[in-house]
Amino acid sequence: MRNLSVALALGAAFIVGCPGHAADVKEKAEVCKGCHGDNAISQMENIPSLAGQLDQYIQWQLVYFRAGSRKNEQMQPIVEDLGNEDIRNLGAYFAAMQPFKGTPDDNPELSAKGKQAAAGRRCASCHGDNFAGTKAVARIAGQREDYLVKALHDYKSGARVGGGQAAMADVAYPLSDEEIEALAHYLAHL
């Protein structure tokens, strides 16, 4: 009964509060862009681009940061101030932005190795044929190369656990440093 009235109240707030809510999410997103980049395309080392990242994926990661199951010193103070509605709004906001595009490939040989590793490890079976992701599985095409390397090492070392059945831990564990380097280079230049 209580849940129903909360749901109704939220629904009503959404309908009547639309312009206010849009301004609010834009304001909140300004803080994010300080690190994640003006168009949510990151210019900073080890900080991922968010533009065109999947709505569900973004929301889950914010929930993991807030719950402390994903740890990062820079994100920690940010998520403390976010409520569930903020998280929903921010997910939709960044997902709707023009996705990041890979930079021109300066090392096609390394990309070829990465492509081969991605096929051998069946990365596309979860991340999609174009690595554009689906639902809670991240878009990884065009992501920053340094961040991809960091993310794969974090899964491999167990520093990052991830959701679901910890799919990425099993995937990353057997990857060699050379494979990680090649995969990150390939994906970043798609």
Burial zone of 49 (CB within 10 Å; 0-12 exposed, 13-18 middle, 19+ buried): buried
Instruction: State whether residue 134 is helix, strand or coil.
Output: strand
How far is Cα 172 from Cα 152, in angstroms, rounded to an integer? 6
Query: Closest CB to ligand HEC among 107 and 134?
Result: 134
* Options 151, 182, 188, 190; binder of ligand HEC; rule CB under 6 A: 151
Position 158 contacts ligand HEC (CB under 6 A): no
Which DSSP string corresponds to 50-95?
-TT--HHHHHHHHHHHHHTSS--TTTHHHHTT--HHHHHHHHHHHH
Position 32 contacts ligand HEC (CB under 6 A): yes
Position 169 contacts ligand HEC (CB under 6 A): no
**Tokens standing for 105?**
């490939």
Query: Closest CB to ligand HEC among 7 and 23?
Result: 23
Is the alpha carbon torsion for 69, 70, 73, 74 positive or negative? negative
Helices (H) then strands (E): counts for the chain: 10, 0
Position 72 contacts ligand HEC (CB under 6 A): yes
User: CA Rg, the chain, in Å?
Assistant: 18
* Options 51, 183, 188, 190; binder of ligand HEC; rule CB under 6 A: 183
Position 108 contacts ligand HEC (CB under 6 A): no
Position 90 contacts ligand HEC (CB under 6 A): yes
How far is Cα 7 from Cα 10, in angstroms, rounded to an integer? 5
Position 36 contacts ligand HEC (CB under 6 A): yes
What is the nearest approach in angstroms of ligand HEC to the Cβ of residue 13? 20
* Interface contacts to ligand HEC, rule CB under 6 A: 28, 31-32, 34-36, 46-48, 50, 53, 58, 60-62, 72, 74-75, 78, 90, 118, 121-123, 125-127, 136-138, 140, 143, 148, 150-152, 162-164, 167-168, 171, 183
